[in-house]
Chain A
Amino acid sequence: MSAFLDALFFQAGYNAALVALGAMLLGFAAGAGGSFLFLRNRALVSDAVAHATLPGVGLAFIVMVALGGDGRSLIGLLAGSAVSAWVGLLAVEWMVRRTRLSEDAAIGAILSTFFGLGVVLLTVIQGMSRGRQAGLEDFLLGSTAGMLLQDGLLIAGGGMAVVFAIWLLRRPMTLVAFDPAFAAARGVDVRRVDLAMMGVVLAVTVVGLKLVGLILIVALLIIPPVTARFWSDRAENVVWIAGVIGGVSGWIGAAISATAPALPTGPIIVLVATGLFAVSLLFSPTRGVAAAVIARRAFQTRVHRRQGLLALARNEPIYDRLTLKILRSEGLLRRDGVATEAGQAACARIARDERRWSVARRLHKDTALTGRYDGLTPIDDVFTEDEITWIDSQVLSEGAA
C-alpha cells in the first residue's frame, strides 16, 4: 500500500514520477480532446487514427536503419507514426467525401488495411539483419518498463503541449462539435476546425503510443468523454470534466502499475477509466441508472398513493398489494383496511382535488394549463388561489343544481 501511495504522490523515483505526470497530462489531453470527437458523434475516428500509426512506426524504423541509425529513436518513430496516421485520416475523409461508403465503413477499412500493412512491415523488420526489433511491439500495447528519461520527458512535454493547444482552440472546437451549422453561420471555418480537432486527436495518439499503445489509446479518447457526459449537459463542462477524468485515470493507473512490474500501464489506466465510467453509469445524479430507478419508484408510489386514496374516497375495495403497502406504511390505512383519521383527511383532500380538476378541465378546454393534468399534480400547483376559489364556486353551484 505504501508503495502505491509513494507512486501516487510522485515519491517513487524521478523516472516513475515523470511517467505518472506524463500519464496524467496525457489522460487529460485525451479526455478533453476526445470530447470534441464524442460531441461531434465521431468517437470511432480515433480508432482508425490509432491503428494507422503502425505502418509509420515500421517505416520510420526501416528508414532510420537505412540511413545508418539504430532505428530506435522515439522521436523518429513518433514522427513516422504521425505522418502515417495523418495519411490514414485523410484517406477516411476522402472515402467519405468521394464515395458512397458511410463513415464507419471507411474507418474500418482504413484501420484494418493500415494495421495489416504495419504488421507486414514489422515482419520485414524482424527479417532485417541489422535491425533489432527491440521494443517495437511495445507500440501495440504500450510499456513504461525500460522507458528512458528522455522518453518520459517527451511524453510529459507532449501532453502539456496538447493540453495547451486544446485550451487555445476550445471556443471554435466546442462550437463546431456542438452545432456545425450554427458555427458555419457565425463565420467559423468548420473544415479547418475539424482538421484542428483531428490534429489534437493525432497528437494525443502519437504521444500516448509508448505509454498505452496504439490499441488502447482509443479507450482514453472515448471513455472519459462518455463518462463526463453523465455529469453535465453543457458542452464546455463535458470537455473539462472529461479532461479531469482522463487525468485522474492516467495518474492513478500509472501509480498502480508502478507498484508491480507485472501490471502493464496501458490496460491499468484504461481499466481505471472504465471503473469511473461504471460508477457514473450507475450513480450519476441525473442520467444514472440508480437515479432512474429511484425516480421510477417515486413516480410509481405517487400513482398508487393517489389511486388508492381515490378508491378509498369512493369506498371501493383495494386489491393491489403495492397500493395497500404504500397506504399502510404512510399510516393512512389500518391493517383491517379501514382508513385512519389521517387517511380520511387525505382522501377528502384528494377527492376535492379531483372534483376541482374535472371542473377546471371542462372550463379551460383549450388552455395549456389543463394540459398539465396527469392525474398526479395537485391543482394548487397549476392554478392560482383566485382561480381555485372560482373553480370551487362552480363545484358548489353544480352540486346544488
Chain B
Amino acid sequence: MGAEFVQFSLTPILIGVFAAIACALPGNFLILRRQALIGDAISHVVLPGIVVAFLITGVVSTWPMLLGAAGAALAAVLLIEAVRRLGKIEPGAAMGVVFTSLFAAGVLLLEQSDTSSVHLDVEHALMGNLEQLIWLRADGWGSLLDPVALSHLPPELPRMAVAAALIAVLTWLFWRPLKLSSFDEGFARALGMPVSAIGLGLVTAAAVAAVAAFDAVGSIIVIAMFICPPAAARLMTNHLGRQVGWSVVFATASAILGYVLAGYGPLWLGASNSVSAAGMVAAVSGVILLLACLFGPARHRVGVAAGG
C-alpha cells in the first residue's frame, strides 16, 4: 500500500467504484420495472455516437465524444419507443431491433472511416482502459494533499465522481416518485404523478451514467453494473432502501475486488501479465450474484408466483 499503489492502482480503483455506483443506482429501479436490458441497449448504441462525433469533429477528444454518445443513447431510447408504438411490437423485440441495427451501423462507420490510425476501436469501446488511468505524478499518499500532483489526476476521476454524485442526489431527490411508480404504476398514476416522465427521467439518468462510465471503463462494466449488483441486492432484502444500500456495497466490492484480482491475481498464480480489469469486474459481480442466488435471504419468490 505504498507509493506504487497510489500511483498505479488508487485512481483506477476509485474510477471503477464511482462508475459502478453510478450504474448500480438507476439499475435498482430498472430491474424493478423489468427494463434491466435498457442498459445493455444503451451501451451498444454508444458506439455509433462516438464514431459520428469523431467524423464530425475529426479529433478524438472527450467532450464531443460524450455528447455524441449521449445523443445516440437518447436517439436509441426514442427509436425503441417509436418502433414499439408504430409497429405494435413487444418492448424486448423492439429494443433488439434498434440496438443491434445501430451497433451494426457504428461498426460499419468505424471500418469505413479512417479511424484505425487514431485510438478508436471496438475493443476499446467494449473493454475500456481502466488499467491506463494511472496517476503518474503521485509519489505516495502525501500527493493527495499536493495541489500540483492533484492537477495531474486523470480527468476521468473528477468526471466520474461528479456523475456518481449527480446520480446519487437525483435518486435521493426523486426517491418517493421513483419508488411508487416502480412498484405500482397504476397507483402512482392515480396519485397524479407524471409516470411516463418519471420513466423517461430514469432512462435518461441511466444513459448519463452509461455514457460517463463507458468512456472510462468500457461497456462491459457498464452492463454488468446496471444489472448484477442490483439483482444480487434484490435477493438480500424486501426493503427498497436496504436493496439500494446493498447494491452500492456490491458494486463497490465488485469494482475493488475485480481490479485487484485482474492486476495482482495472475501474479499470485505465477503468471506475469495482468488480465482485463473490465472483464474481471464483470466476472466478480457475476460471482456475487451467484452467491446471492444460492444464499440470499430473500431469493425465493413469494405469493402466487411461488409455485413451479
Residues of chain A whose beta carbon lies under 8 Å from any beta carbon of chain B? 38, 41-44, 46-47, 95, 97-102, 104-120, 122-124, 126-127, 137, 140-141, 215-216, 218-219, 222-223, 225-226, 229-230, 262-264, 266-268, 270-271, 274, 277, 281, 287, 289
Q: Given contacts A100-B299, A263-B111, is CB(A109)–CB(B278) below 8 Å?
A: no
Given contacts A115-B282, A271-B105, contact A95 B293 (CB under 8 A): yes
Enumerate chain A residues within 8 angstroms of B231, measured Cβ to Cβ: 101, 105-106, 108-109
- Report if A264-B34 is in contact (Cβ < 8 Å); known contacts: A120-B283, A289-B86: no
Is B147 interfacial (CB-CB < 8 Å)?
no
B165 in the interface, Cβ–Cβ < 8 Å?
no
- Cα A113 to Cα B223 in complex, Å, equals 9
Interface check B144, CB cutoff 8 A: no
CB proximity to A under 8 Å, residues B10-53: 31, 34-37, 39-40, 44
Residues of chain A within 8 A (CB-CB) of B89 are 226, 229
Q: How far apart sit A76 and B221, CA to CA, in the bound complex (Å)?
A: 29
Q: List B residues 240-276 near A (Cβ within 8 Å).
A: 262, 266, 271-276
Within 8 Å CB of B283, what residues of A? 113, 116-117, 120
Question: Is B300 engaged at the interface, CB distance under 8 Å to the other chain?
Answer: yes
CB of B88 closer than 8 Å to a CB of A? yes
Given contacts A101-B31, A113-B228, A219-B101, 12 further A-B contacts (CB under 8 A): A109-B227, A112-B40, A115-B223, A116-B220, A124-B266, A124-B273, A215-B100, A215-B103, A219-B96, A264-B108, A266-B107, A271-B108
Which B residues lie within 8 Å of A124 (CB)? 266, 271, 273, 275
Answer yes or no: B280 CB below 8 A from chain A CBs.
yes
Most buried by B among A101, A102, A229: A101
Q: Are A99 and B224 in contact (CB under 8 A)?
A: no
Residues A108 and B278 in contact in the complex (CB < 8 Å), given A120-B262, A274-B104: no
Does B87 count as interface, using CB distance less than 8 angstroms? yes
**Pairwise interchain contact B104-A271, C-beta atoms closer than 8 A:** yes
Residues of chain B within 8 A (CB-CB) of A115 are 220, 223, 279, 282
A residues near B87, Cβ cutoff 8 Å: 226, 230, 281, 287
- Which residues of chain B come closer than 8 Å to A218, judged between CB atoms? 96, 100
Contact status B93-A47, CB under 8 Å: no
How many whole Å from A332's CB to the nearest CB in chain B?
A: 35
Known: A44-B95, A99-B293. A268 touches B108 (CB 8 A): yes
Which of B123, B226, B273, B276 counts the most chain A CB atoms within 10 A?
B276
Whole-angstrom CA separation of A102 from B92 in the bound complex: 13
Binary contact track B265-308/A, C-beta < 8 Å → 1, others 0 = 01000011111101111110111010001001011111001001
Check B300–A100 contact: CB distance below 8 A. Answer: yes
Q: How far is the CA of A99 from the CA of B286 in the complex (A)?
A: 15
- B78 contacts A by Cβ under 8 Å: no
Contact assessment for A123 and B101 in the assembled complex, using a CB-CB cutoff below 8 Å: no
CA distance A274 to B106 in the complex (A): 14
- Quote the shortest CB–CB distance from A267 to chain B (angstroms): 4
Task: Please name 17 pairs of A and B residues whose Cβ atoms are closer than 8 Å in the assembled complex, sorted by A.
Answer: A43-B96, A44-B95, A46-B96, A100-B305, A102-B34, A104-B36, A109-B289, A116-B220, A116-B286, A120-B279, A124-B271, A215-B103, A218-B96, A222-B96, A226-B97, A263-B112, A277-B101
Chain A residue nearest to B234 in the complex (CB):
A101
B90 CB within 8 Å of chain A: yes
For chain B, give the interface size range.
Answer: 35 or more
- A98 with B93, Cβ < 8 A, contacts A107-B37, A119-B276 known: no
Q: Which residue of A is nearest B225, CB measured?
A: A112
Rounded to whole angstroms, the CA-CA distance of A271 and B103 in the bound complex is: 10
* CB–CB B273/A127 < 8 A: yes
B51 to chain A, nearest CB (A): 12
Please measure, in the bound complex, the distance between the C-alpha atom of A262 and the C-alpha atom of B298, giving whole angstroms.
52
Closest to B220 in A: A116
Which of A113, A230, A277 is within 8 Å of B286, CB to CB?
A113
Check B122 for interface membership: any CB of A closer than 8 A. Answer: yes
Q: Are B279 and A116 in contact (CB under 8 A)?
A: yes
How far is the CB of B189 from the nearest CB of chain A, in Å?
Answer: 22
**Chain B contacts for A106, CB-based, 8 A:** 231
Cβ of B36 and Cβ of A102 under 8 Å apart? yes
B62 to chain A, nearest CB (A): 24
Residue of B at shortest CB range from A261?
B111
A105 touches B279 (CB 8 A): no
B83 beta carbon closer than 8 Å to chain A: yes
Candidates B92, B275, B282; contact of A112 at CB < 8 Å: B282
A100 x B92 contact (CB < 8 A): no
Residues of A within 8 A of B6 (CB): none
- Take A219-B96, A226-B87 as given contacts and tell me if A119 and B226 are in contact as well, using a CB distance cutoff of 8 Å: no
A99 / chain B contacts, CB cutoff of 8 Å: 235, 293, 296, 299-301
Q: Which residues of A contact B282 (CB under 8 A)?
A: 112-113, 115-117, 119
Name the B residues within 8 Å of A229 (CB-CB): 89
Write the chain B residue with the least CB distance to A278.
Answer: B101
Q: Does B127 contact A (CB under 8 A)?
A: yes
Minimum C-beta distance from B29 to chain A (A): 12
Q: What residues of chain A lie closer than 8 Å to B95, measured between beta carbons?
A: 44
Bound: A102/B281 CA distance, A: 23
Closest chain-B Cβ to A296's Cβ sits at a distance in Å of: 13
Do A112 and B235 form a contact, CB below 8 Å, given A104-B34, A268-B108? no
- For the complex, what is the distance from the CA of A289 to the CA of B283, rounded to whole Å? 43
Which residue of chain B has the shortest Cβ distance to A113 in the bound complex?
Answer: B286
Q: Do A120 and B92 have beta carbons less than 8 Å apart?
A: no
Query: What is the 8 Å Cβ interface bit string for chain B, positions 168-205, against chain A (1 contact, 0 not)?
Result: 00000000000000000000000000000000000000
| A44 contacts across to B, CB distance below 8 A | 37, 92-93, 95-96
Flag if B235 contacts A270 (CB, 8 Å).
Answer: no
B126 CB-CB contact with A under 8 Å: yes
Q: Nearest Cβ distance between residue A284 and chain B, in whole angstroms?
A: 9
Please indicate the chain B residues that have their CB under 8 angstroms from the CB of A116 in the complex: 220-221, 224, 278-283, 285-286
Contacts A104-B37, A222-B100 hold; do A113 and B285 have CB atoms under 8 A apart?
yes
Q: Which residues of B contact A122 (CB under 8 A)?
A: 276, 279
Across the two chains, which residue of chain B brings its CB closest to A227?
Answer: B97
Interface pair A222/B97, CB less than 8 Å apart: yes
Most buried by B among A99, A215, A274, A287: A99
Shortest CB-to-CB span from B242 to chain A, Å, is: 16
